[in-house]
Amino acid sequence: MSYAFVFPGQGSQSVGMLAELAESHSQVQEVFTEASDTLGYDLWDVVQNDVDGKLNQTDITQPAMLASGIAVYRTLAAQKNLEPAFMTGHSLGEYTALVASGCMTLAQGIALVAERGKFMQSAVPAGQGAMAAVLGLEDEQVVAVCEKAEGIVEAVNFNSPGQVVIAGNKAAVDAVMELATEAGASRVVPLPVSVPSHCSLMKPAADRLAESLSGMELSMPSVPVLHNVNFNQAQSVDEIKELLVQQLYRPVQWVETVNSMKAQGVESLYELGPGKVLMGLNRRIDRKMGMKAVFDNASIEKALATL
């Protein structure tokens, strides 16, 4: 059976995630210890207790989600020889896939996404940007509605048929939410985020990310990694860096990414990391593909039985 690993992004985090898995599998604490050493603070304590409410702060959410995905991946890898046909991730999850595939080390990935979060937040101050999910319209309808609004607002996540996320200036996003409802959207849901990811407002952050990436020594992945921007694998380290830069201000093509894997023979997807967000999206993309969310002891055992 041909299978792929997919890693979730921001929005899947929750206080206490991976606690049960950490009690049974040493790989979880090992990953978080290395991540904490890289960051200079106790990331596991933030994830488990979130005393100061920082887990949803983007420069902390991103390393927390990356570490969580790698912890699940290494837990599986410690027990079974893994041979995925592809790896990929949604937004931040793309970085997790690159770490899992050996393109960058865990320490490199953790430091990079922490910087990425800071760059994103500084590009658009809190309160000035917004994101919303538009449900029940065709992709083209959402794009057309965005073009009608004044200010910057763009379709940025093509998550599944009938679910597109928009991002931009708060006033423009608010206007499109009303226009989308008038156009027949079944629901329009504002997202609890402080940064309008994957739209052109992120270009300043992308320029700073390019500077950080320029001096990094990366390797070609040991497993093909499909990128959000073009739903394809890069042919060089320089192309990987360029696609990561573009990903900050260009849309996440998740539907095309899943369809690309299916066209290349992938029969089943395993979502590694907290939550079941991608499993839900993937079911709407193609219900015939096998899908499992892997994040606790029970789901680890089920995954090991089928991999």
| Residues assigned a catalytic role | 91, 198
Residue 302 contacts residue 292 (beta carbons within 8 Å): yes
Which structure tokens are listed for 159? 């998550």
**DSSP codes, 52-93:** TS-TTSHHHHHHHHHHHHHHHHHHHHTTS----SEEEESTTH
Beta bridge partners of 272: 294
Distances (CA, A) of 141 to 150, 167, 219, 242, 282: 17, 15, 40, 30, 21
CA distance 7 to 194: 22
For residue 162, the Cα-to-chain-centroid distance in whole angstroms is 19
Which two structure tokens, joined as six digits, stand for 169?
């200036």
Partners of 3 in the β-ladder: 268
SS3 assignment, position 131: strand
The helix-helix angle for 93-100 and 106-123 (nearest 10°) equals 160
